Amino acid sequence: MATKTYLQAISDGLREEMRRDSRVFLIGEDIGVYGGAFKVTQGFLQEFGEDRVIDSPLSETAIVGSCTGAALMGMRPVCEMQFSDFVSCAFDHLVTVAAKQHYRVGTPVPIVVRLPSGGGFSGGPFHSQNPEGFFAHCPGLKLVCPATPADAKGLLVQAIRDPNPVLFFEHKHLYRRIKGEVPDGEHAVEFGKARTHREGTDLSIITYGAMVYTAEEAATAVADKDGTSVEIIDLRTLTPWDKQAVLDSVAKTSKVLVLHEDTHTSGFGAEIAATIAEEAFENLDAPVARLTAPDTPVPFSPPLEKAFLPQVEDVVAAIDRLSAY
Amino acid sequence: MATKTYLQAISDGLREEMRRDSRVFLIGEDIGVYGGAFKVTQGFLQEFGEDRVIDSPLSETAIVGSCTGAALMGMRPVCEMQFSDFVSCAFDHLVTVAAKQHYRVGTPVPIVVRLPSGGGFSGGPFHSQNPEGFFAHCPGLKLVCPATPADAKGLLVQAIRDPNPVLFFEHKHLYRRIKGEVPDGEHAVEFGKARTHREGTDLSIITYGAMVYTAEEAATAVADKDGTSVEIIDLRTLTPWDKQAVLDSVAKTSKVLVLHEDTHTSGFGAEIAATIAEEAFENLDAPVARLTAPDTPVPFSPPLEKAFLPQVEDVVAAIDRLSAY
Amino acid sequence: MAIAREATPVSSAADIKDADLDREDLLQIYRNMLVTRGIEERGHILYRQGKIPGSFYTGRGNEGGSVGVATAMRADDVGAPIQRDMGVHVTRGTDPWRIFAQYMGRRDGLAAGKDGNVHMADIRLGLIAMVSHLPALMPVAVGCALAFKIRKEPRVAVAWSGDGAMARGDAHEAMNLAGVHRLPVVFICDNNQYAYSTPNRLEFGVDHLADRAAAYGFDGVVVDGTDVLTVYREAHRAIEKARAGGGPTLLELVTLRMEGHAVHDDAFYVPRELLEAYTRKDPIERYRRWLKEQAILDEEADDAITVEVKKLLNDAMKRAEESPLPDPSELETGVYAEPEELDTPHHK
Amino acid sequence: MAIAREATPVSSAADIKDADLDREDLLQIYRNMLVTRGIEERGHILYRQGKIPGSFYTGRGNEGGSVGVATAMRADDVGAPIQRDMGVHVTRGTDPWRIFAQYMGRRDGLAAGKDGNVHMADIRLGLIAMVSHLPALMPVAVGCALAFKIRKEPRVAVAWSGDGAMARGDAHEAMNLAGVHRLPVVFICDNNQYAYSTPNRLEFGVDHLADRAAAYGFDGVVVDGTDVLTVYREAHRAIEKARAGGGPTLLELVTLRMEGHAVHDDAFYVPRELLEAYTRKDPIERYRRWLKEQAILDEEADDAITVEVKKLLNDAMKRAEESPLPDPSELETGVYAEPEELDTPHHK
Ligand SMILES: Cc1ncc(C[n+]2csc(CCOP(=O)(O)OP(=O)(O)O)c2C)c(N)n1
Ligand SMILES: Cc1ncc(C[n+]2csc(CCOP(=O)(O)OP(=O)(O)O)c2C)c(N)n1
Ligand SMILES: [Mg+2]
Ligand SMILES: [Mg+2]
């Protein structure tokens, strides 16, 4: 065990898999000489050479499409979108080709797409998005949203070994801010198993990614304020998602807040809330609440972006509303 | 008033708008000489000439992107995706450019994208999809899903006049099968107003598009069988959607089934169900149920496709379950 | 002004020697062309009998192109053929009965009823199943070539596109990436002069699509796609050049789509004279004539092959009709792959 | 082997006459280049002072390209400039104070704080705001040209792309569609030799991006992008050719990105000699020298312009700093347009 940043954990997980398995290679914009826009692959070109660390042209379609081809030939490609926002340029290749190939003709497509996501830095409408909501609607893809350094490593390793196309959402706001214990060496975390980030009895917050920490601050605040005991469930993966863990938590607390940074309408929170409402109807003492970003692009200017992103105060207010119900 | 097919109604709405407004022009694959894969624009090239009815190259990105540009220059472009499935190739231009331009810099992008959608013909995974679920998650777009010939015309006219990018989902299974009274001449239907397709008191079905008719058959079946009185709400437009009409219906019936042909997870049904669960919690006598296609690509072979698409029997079974709750 | 080279037709006996084909190969090409057309003709019949759900597409007029290129591929090369390339599946050894089963949505179809018509391929034969969205398999094929380059394997990927599909961004991104890394990939453009109803002049503003190659730093060649031997020779050159590290080539095979876009389309928009001209250039008739001129095939041998092919296909149809439809319970299987599936040889 | 023409530099006085520029125009170009650089230099200062949120990009080294092209556009032409083209905004008349307000996310920024840095444009000046996703505005500009063609207006659209962004499908689809319909559009490629850290040789496999034009059936020209007058002349020719119905042109303007991709990037990967060579070719210094050689500018006039520009920009900065930040209540406004908004002149 060592204490590492979230970014370092991703970098280490990737490096270790590349050392372990010569089929793993990387392709993306500026990931080689420059080490990636966020320096996740710093030093990789030197260690693995330019056959395995490929600085691609500015070509998201070719990046994802060629990963699919290489995967069909037995490689284990890991590509990087420079910002997750640009995955819109590879949407067709993910949804049409990679996601459906196995169902259609039985050929697995083991690719990983790394997606630096999320806001909080005045990145504006195109460098701040959380595009998981779009892809959650596509059967055949797996979606991973780690919150902790240990999970960032363990889920990335698992993603690389998974025989399916995996979208790996790395929250940029966690990269250097969040540190934690990370197992050394071999460490893989199973998909579809939520993590109880904090135990509680009065109310459940179902969330993932950076919002885990916003939830945590809010939980601490209400505990201090009036003793409300909040349980936080970190989903870790959205496809598959751990429905059972969510239903178990709701059975315990009877009140639930679904929280994400992605925008509201048809966000993954809708799926969670709809499922809880359908399958835990009799356990609910209050309506399932959702707290998300509003239905707007991510604005650039700090006062707007702050209003856009769910803040600790917003979570506290939502908890208070549910408590009062 | 005249009785027309759904297809004829679309064709007429489009033709009338083109006659009325010289800024309206069409671009798409095989829409000119051939009159469109479904013959919606048959005769248009002859009437309006090749400047206003443009047979484009096989280029969904250029089609949608150029519509955006023409719209910014004051035109009212209407483009056709040959099958709605191919809109995945224009996803970026819709979500990144057209949807966000007004929020970002205040310039309206009045374009309409016509999308022949839906299954039921052994079209297989790429000629049968209902991609509205993806786009419902994108602020800045409007989504229209007419079920009747009158709405097909009226909503298309409204779409052309709307100052925003509008995705117009035309269900292929309704094209020639469904006939109805269509107002002659000027006829526009406001967005965001649901239509009560059938009044009822025991249970509400919230749906849109071709599933309106599946719901209707099921409603008739249960009425005959045991007198259950089913209300059917046809949403007509998903963005904006008529939340109030849905909540009003639920307040009346206390039980609700959300039905769509699109796949399950993070489909628009999740948004509807989550909203009802949140805002009509106290009115519900049973959990909000969803009936949708499963989370798979649309299979080709008839027995599989039949199992994939929600059938009348499935709706009846879902109604029975809710009734028994 | 063409930038691409225009391939001279194969004519002399010497040309054939160069092209590395012996008598048996030449007859096998003929057989493959007959099987290809035979499958699609029978498909039409099955369709009219209501046994093929959905729509139905053929590649009539493209038998020279598809069989010619596939013949030039080596066993461990890979390809991603498209909707007019039944000849590729046939030449690589796909069992005809499984193709008929595929057409009919049966469990023994290559897609087991999950997908239909020519959206199929047997990966064990080095083929990758197309998706409808054209030409999405071009970047995929480039990725295969990338894998070969990384692993330093002497293998080549072949990527197909129609003339219409060359307008899409995928074609560009694929050829650009291949050009930058000089990947072992050969791009084949089946230029059958139409994309559905859209003629070449509304698809691109250049003389020949093969001229595009120059924009990516590799060679383009315009080939008469109705002439199977010229196709073979040019594909062979390009494939071996790629294998030797010489980078990609774009071959434009010019033919005509001899039937409608699909069964429902009578192709009224194709000028009659054009259709007649290409009827005279029918790739199978042309090749048959040539084989006879060269005394490789006589009347008797021709009849024998015809009978053999007929029997093969009739048996195949029968066998396919015995294949069951998939069971509804199979609907939700296979959305995700299981780890064990990576234990197949090509995934190691 | 270049397919595109390489533009000969403007040298003689006659060249200038041809290019249709009088003395005042020549000085205005100079002023616009100074304003352009001045805005970006001050942006750097504001950034270091913590007044610009997010990141910050400049176009240093591209003042010749951006001002040269924009000068050749007529008032009712339209353009979709990109991240290195501040000179286009300046030349078309964007108020510098609104640009500073834009940088700082203030309400008077062209995006009113909804978007940042050079993701902005004033549509009333015929400019369309870029998105990050490159080069998505190329097909959009083609659509403008399509509108002009449909309405038979003698207007031209100008579409910009970087060298890196030319690899994307959008570039291809845009140029292909424009080529097919010979639309009145001019494509400008700001080739500053890098896409972030990626050098030209990893972006494309051809000698010059301008060679791509031949793949779409129109002309390509390689231009020294540090030479504002040559840029102007070539842009003028291309724009007027497009206006006259002669179809598109692709101009590749070669320069060097003289600073990092954005503020955080020290561009360690750019060879020092290359940077030095282009420092010597600085577009502003070059043009200033030329103006002096031609006796269009003397020391005194130069000082006067410098002072004037300084004052303009310092006043602009001050005014921008007085602009308020947007109010959180504005967050949800403007997601959708209202029908009345179509009642503006350009939407009629
Ligand atoms: C991205 C995409 N858009 C539209 C279609 C619908 N479509 C199917 S085939 C076809 C024409 C293809 O023309 P071409 O590439 O020349 O191939 P051909 O069918 O002529 O062999 C079209 C438009 C498609 N398959 N993919
Ligand atoms: C589709 C897309 N992918 C990735 C990026 C991230 N990105 C921003 S600028 C840039 C390099 C652009 O290079 P070039 O086109 O040469 O323009 P330059 O910045 O050099 O002027 C990259 C990769 C982007 N903006 N858009
Ligand atoms: Mg074709
Ligand atoms: Mg550049």
At residue D141 the predicted structure's pLDDT band, cuts being 50, 70 and 90, is very high
| Mean per-residue pLDDT of chain B | 98
CB B131 within 8 A of CB B88: yes
**Ranges of H-type helices in chain A:** 6-20, 44-48, 60-72, 91-92, 99-105, 132-135, 149-161, 211-226, 243-253, 268-279, 302-308, 312-324
Percent of chain B clearing pLDDT 70 (strictly above): 100
With beta carbons under 8 A apart, name residues in chain B contacting D151.
Answer: 75
Q: How close, in Å, is residue D196 to chain A by CA atoms?
A: 7
Q: How close, in Å, is residue B20 to chain C by CA atoms?
A: 28
Tell me the residue length of chain A. 325
Mean pLDDT, residues B256-279: 98
C173 part of contact set with chain D, CB < 8 Å: yes
| Mean per-residue pLDDT of chain A | 98
With beta carbons under 8 A apart, name residues in chain D contacting B140.
Answer: 335-336
Instruction: Please state, in angstroms and rounded to a whole number, the distance separating the CA atoms of residues A245 and B270.
Output: 19
* Pocket residues: Cβ below 6 A from ligand 1: B 29, 58, 60, 82, 86, 89; C 83-84, 132-134, 162-165, 168, 190, 192, 194-196, 257
For chain B, the chains sharing at least 3 beta-carbon pairs closer than 8 angstroms are A, C, D
Mean pLDDT, residues A90-116: 98
With beta carbons under 8 A apart, name residues in chain B contacting D131.
Answer: 96-97, 100-101, 104
Residue C51 burial by CB count (10 A; 0-12/13-18/19+): exposed, middle or buried?
Answer: middle
DSSP H/E element including B123: none
CB A173 within 8 A of CB A305: no
Instruction: Please state, in angstroms and rounded to a whole number, the distance separating the CA atoms of residues A157 and A161.
Output: 6
Tokens 């260690």 sit on residue:
A47
Please give the structure tokens belonging to residue A199: 């135990």
- The verdict on the CB of residue D237 being under 6 Å from ligand 2 is no
Instruction: Please state, in angstroms and rounded to a whole number, the distance separating the CA atoms of residues A14 and A77.
Output: 11
The pLDDT of residue B250 is above 60: yes
Q: A3 pairs with which residues across the strands?
A: A181
Residue D45 burial by CB count (10 A; 0-12/13-18/19+): exposed, middle or buried?
Answer: exposed
Nearest CA to ligand 2 atom 17: D162
Instruction: Write out pLDDT tens, residues A30-69.
Output: 999 999 999 999 999 999 999 999 999 999 999 999 999 9
Instruction: Please state, in angstroms and rounded to a whole number, the distance separating the CA atoms of residues C88 and D316.
Output: 67
Predicted confidence at residue A1, as pLDDT, reads: 87
Collapsing DSSP to helix, strand or coil, D261 comes out as coil
Instruction: Please state, in angstroms and rounded to a whole number, the distance separating the CA atoms of residues A5 and C206.
Output: 54
Mean pLDDT, residues D135-158: 98
Instruction: Please state, in angstroms and rounded to a whole number, the distance separating the CA atoms of residues D124 and D148.
Output: 16
The pLDDT of residue B193 is above 60: yes
A167 part of contact set with chain C, CB < 8 Å: no
Predicted confidence at residue C179, as pLDDT, reads: 98
Mean pLDDT, residues B268-276: 98
Predicted confidence at residue A186, as pLDDT, reads: 93
Spatial CA neighbour of C27 closest among C312, C237, C310, C292? C292
Spatial CA neighbour of C175 closest among C83, C77, C249? C249
Spatial CA neighbour of D186 closest among D156, D148, D217? D156
DSSP B75: -
The pLDDT of residue D346 is above 80: no
Answer yes or no: do C198 and B307 touch at CB < 8 A. no
CB B223 within 8 A of CB B229: yes
- The verdict on the CB of residue D134 being under 6 Å from ligand 2 is yes
A192 part of contact set with chain C, CB < 8 Å: no
Predicted confidence at residue D347, as pLDDT, reads: 60
Mean pLDDT, residues A103-110: 98
Residue D85 burial by CB count (10 A; 0-12/13-18/19+): exposed, middle or buried?
Answer: buried
DSSP H/E element including A171: strand A166-171
DSSP D256: -
DSSP A199: -
**Ranges of H-type helices in B43-109:** 44-48, 60-72, 91-92, 99-105
The pLDDT of residue D344 is above 90: no
Instruction: Please state, in angstroms and rounded to a whole number, the distance separating the CA atoms of residues B48 and D303.
Output: 60
With beta carbons under 8 A apart, name residues in chain C contacting B59.
Answer: 167-169
Predicted confidence at residue A132, as pLDDT, reads: 98
Atom of ligand 1 nearest to the CA of C195: 13
At residue B253 the predicted structure's pLDDT band, cuts being 50, 70 and 90, is very high
Spatial CA neighbour of A109 closest among D224, C145, D270, C334? C334
Predicted confidence at residue D1, as pLDDT, reads: 41
The pLDDT of residue D123 is above 60: yes
Answer yes or no: do A61 and D169 touch at CB < 8 A. yes
Please give the structure tokens belonging to residue D4: 């595109």
What residue type is assigned to position B142 of the chain?
Answer: K
Q: How far is CA A59 from the centre of its chain?
A: 23
Which residues lie below 8 Å from residue D5, measured CB to CB, with a gap of 6+? D210, D219, D220, D221, D222
Instruction: Please state, in angstroms and rounded to a whole number, the distance separating the CA atoms of residues B235 and B262.
Output: 15
User: What is the Å distance from ligand 4's center to D191 Cα?
Assistant: 5
**Residue C134 CA: which ligand is closest?**
1
DSSP A213-261: HHHHHHHHHHHHHH---EEEEE-SEEES--HHHHHHHHHHHS-EEEEEE
For chain D, the chains sharing at least 3 beta-carbon pairs closer than 8 angstroms are A, B, C
Rounded to 5 degrees, what are φ and ψ at A238? -95, -35
Q: Is the peptide bond before D328 cis (omega within 30 degrees of 0)?
A: no
- The verdict on the CB of residue D132 being under 6 Å from ligand 2 is yes
The beta strands (E) that lie in chain D are given as 5-6, 78-80, 157-162, 185-191, 194-195, 198-199, 219-224, 249-254
Q: How far is CA C41 from the centre of its chain?
A: 17
User: Could you tell me the CA-to-CA distances from C208 to B244, C250, C251 in Å, in that order?
Assistant: 58, 11, 10
D210 part of contact set with chain B, CB < 8 Å: no
C146 part of contact set with chain A, CB < 8 Å: yes
The pLDDT of residue B234 is above 60: yes
Q: D221 pairs with which residues across the strands?
A: D5, D251
Predicted confidence at residue C1, as pLDDT, reads: 41
- The verdict on the CB of residue A307 being under 6 Å from ligand 2 is no
Closest partner residue to A163 (CB to CB) among C138, C141, C337 is C337
Residues 246-305 of chain A whose Cβ lies under 8 A from any Cβ of chain D:
294-297, 299-304
DSSP C204-257: -SSS-GGGGGGGGTSEEEEEETT-HHHHHHHHHHHHHHHHTT---EEEEEE---
User: What is the Å distance from ligand 4's center to D3 Cα?
Assistant: 21
Q: Is A127 one of the catalytic residues?
A: yes
pTM beyond 0.95, yes or no = yes
Predicted confidence at residue B1, as pLDDT, reads: 87
Rounded to 5 degrees, what are φ and ψ at A138? -110, 105
Predicted confidence at residue C3, as pLDDT, reads: 77
Which residues lie below 8 Å from residue A48, measured CB to CB, with a gap of 6+? A18, A25, A26
Answer yes or no: do B88 and A96 touch at CB < 8 A. yes
* B264, B301, B305, B306: best to mutate for the C interface, most C CBs within 10 A: B301
Nearest CA to ligand 2 atom 11: D195
At residue D47 the predicted structure's pLDDT band, cuts being 50, 70 and 90, is very high
CB D134 within 8 A of CB D107: no
Predicted confidence at residue D3, as pLDDT, reads: 77
Q: How close, in Å, is residue D114 to chain A by CA atoms?
A: 5
Q: How far is CA A209 from the centre of its chain?
A: 5
Closest partner residue to A140 (CB to CB) among C146, C177, C335 is C335
DSSP B140-151: T-EEE---SHHH
**Residue A62 CA: which ligand is closest?**
2
CB C71 within 8 A of CB C30: no
At residue D17 the predicted structure's pLDDT band, cuts being 50, 70 and 90, is confident
DSSP H/E element including B181: strand B179-182
Instruction: Write out pLDDT tens, residues A224-261.
Output: 999 999 999 999 999 999 999 999 999 999 999 999 99
Residue D328 burial by CB count (10 A; 0-12/13-18/19+): exposed, middle or buried?
Answer: middle
Given the residues B93, B127, B187, B197, select the one marked as catalytic: B127
At residue D345 the predicted structure's pLDDT band, cuts being 50, 70 and 90, is low
CB D224 within 8 A of CB D208: no
At residue B132 the predicted structure's pLDDT band, cuts being 50, 70 and 90, is very high
At residue B214 the predicted structure's pLDDT band, cuts being 50, 70 and 90, is very high
CB D237 within 8 A of CB D201: no
Strand A195-198 and strand A230-234: the pairing is antiparallel
Spatial CA neighbour of B72 closest among C66, D122, D54? D122
Q: A31 pairs with which residues across the strands?
A: none
The pLDDT of residue A4 is above 80: yes
With beta carbons under 8 A apart, name residues in chain D contacting C214.
Answer: 3, 206, 211, 214-215
pLDDT profile of chain C (348 residues), mean per 10: 81 73 95 98 97 97 98 98 98 98 98 97 98 98 98 98 98 98 98 98 97 97 97 97 98 98 97 98 97 95 98 98 98 97 71
